[in-house]
Amino acid sequence: MVTITIKNIPEQVYERIKAQAKVNHRSINGEILSILDQAVALPPIDVQATLERARKVRELTAKYTVTADEIEKMINEGRE
The model's pLDDT over 22-39, given as tens digits with 9 standing for 90+, comes to 999 999 999 999 999 999
Spatial separation of the C-alpha atoms in residues 58 and 52, rounded to whole Å: 10
| Mean pLDDT, range 39-58, rounded to an integer | 94
Residue 48 contacts residue 40 (beta carbons within 8 Å): no
Average pLDDT over the chain reads: 93
Predicted confidence band of residue 1 (pLDDT cuts 50, 70, 90): confident
d(Cα 3, Cα 74) in Å, to the nearest integer?
54
Buried b (16+ CB within 10 A) or exposed e, 61-70: eeeeeeeeee
Predicted confidence (pLDDT) at residue 66 exceeds the cutoff of 90: no
Residue 77 has pLDDT above 90, yes or no: no
Report whether pLDDT(65) > 90.
no
